[in-house]
Amino acid sequence: MTGRRIVVLNAGSSSLKFAAYSTDPEAPPLVFGKVEGIGHSPRLRMSGPAGTHEAAVQASDLHAAMLAVVAVPDGPLAGDVAGFGHRIVHGGPDLDHAVVVDNDCLARIEAVSPLAPLHNPPALDVLKGLRTRFPGVPHVACFDTAFHRGHPAVADRFAIPDELYQEGVRRYGFHGLSYAYIAGAMRTAAPEIASGRVVAAHLGSGASMCALVDGHSVDSSMGFTALDGLPMGTRSGSLDSGVILWLQQQKGWSVDRVEDFLYHDCGLKGMSGLSDDIRVLLASDQPLARLAVEYFVYHIARTAGALAVSMGGIDGMVFTAGIGEHSVVVRARVLQRLRWLGFTVDDPANAAGQGRITAADSRLPAYVIPTDEERVIARETIALLCA
């Protein structure tokens, strides 16, 4: 595989991230970028040896976005492709590690896709399209749920009959590729807490939190689906199941309408009535926008306390992903709510938004560590294809 490249695809509901790596997964990517705004004003942004390239593209869906990436001169697929690596959000109870994709694997992913309707179907569209366009090139599926499969039973189960658990109704946890990266990155970026008890907060349009003990997941805010836990951009987060019954029984909503509502019309967008973008909400003086931000902050802090209980204590905290890496205000407000645990914000360090953001005399440290899901996918893909 010398001189060849691995191409990584990270498909979201309205974006497609991509990167090409040499077969050394620790080397910088050869080229990377994303197509965003898919379905409405899509644009492709790419960085590589020739600099940064940005242009409008035709991309009404993820498959079309994939074709746009394929067509870019000197893009990720311009070289000799040794294999593709894909982020798959939900692997269900059986797919608990990265695997080389075959027809049986595809069938298993499709079987659990209703549990991740925003993510699994578009990722499969991209994977299948590339299989057709590049026959014979292997594909590796890397699962967000896999990182959490070692949870103890008390964190893995719901209080429901065991036969449903055996059918796969359990708490899976998500954003596992991100947490896997953070667990490794702490060894150099935050060595004082890397082997300790850490609450990691992946805060973006999709948001979750994870309890890491010595780099291993022992609990997570998300459960059976990526609807659970924290309020998100357009997703509700934790919700009394009686609300769903009420919507169906009293308002006559169909299952499809309830699903669309919970995934697309709730969270920060639904609560504020304004936007799912935390930046817009922070800039607004509308009462509901302010409430949505405070609700988000409140539940991050509340979940941090719960995850500390899961670990029997806490030695530090890490913020990552879009909001976690870039929102000075959200980080400061969360840590202010957690002062009772021993966090004291260093305002200039927090404003810089990199490394340790707590004061020298803070009893507990907090860090900002940028995540890199694509690199984790590259590592797992190369490990399988080079074995």
Instruction: Provide the CA 10 distance to its chain's centre, in angstroms.
Output: 10
Q: Which domain holds residue 333?
A: 192-368
Residue 174 has pLDDT above 70, yes or no: yes
Give the number of domains in the chain.
2
Do 207 and 146 share a structural domain?
A: no
Do 234 and 123 share a structural domain?
A: no
Maximal CA-CA distance, the chain: 63
Do 196 and 131 share a structural domain?
A: no
Angle between helices 176-189 and 373-385 (to 10 degrees): 100
Query: 24, 61, 94, 144: which is the annotated catalytic residue?
Result: 144
Do 355 and 222 share a structural domain?
A: yes
Do 335 and 221 share a structural domain?
A: yes
Given a contact cutoff of 8 angstroms between Cβ atoms, the answer to whether 197 and 164 are in contact is: no
pLDDT for residue 63: 85
How many other C-beta atoms lie within 10 A of the C-beta of residue 381?
28
Do 44 and 116 share a structural domain?
A: yes
Catalytic-residue membership of 144? yes
Residue 118 has pLDDT above 90, yes or no: no
Q: Is residue 176, in this structure, part of any structural domain at all?
A: no
Q: What does 206-275 look like in DSSP terms, one character per residue?
A: SEEEEEEETTEEEEES--SSTTSSS--SS---S--HHHHHHHHHHS---HHHHHHHHHHS-HHHHHHSS-
Q: pLDDT digits over 327-378, tens only? A: 999 999 999 999 999 999 999 999 999 999 999 999 999 999 999 999 999 9
Do 146 and 208 share a structural domain?
A: no
Do 347 and 271 share a structural domain?
A: yes
Do 200 and 324 share a structural domain?
A: yes
Q: pLDDT digits over 56-108, tens only? A: 887 778 888 888 888 888 889 888 899 999 999 999 888 999 999 999 999 99
Query: Tell me, what CATH number does 362's domain have?
Result: 3.30.420.40
Q: pLDDT digits over 295-320, tens only? A: 999 999 999 999 999 999 999 999 99
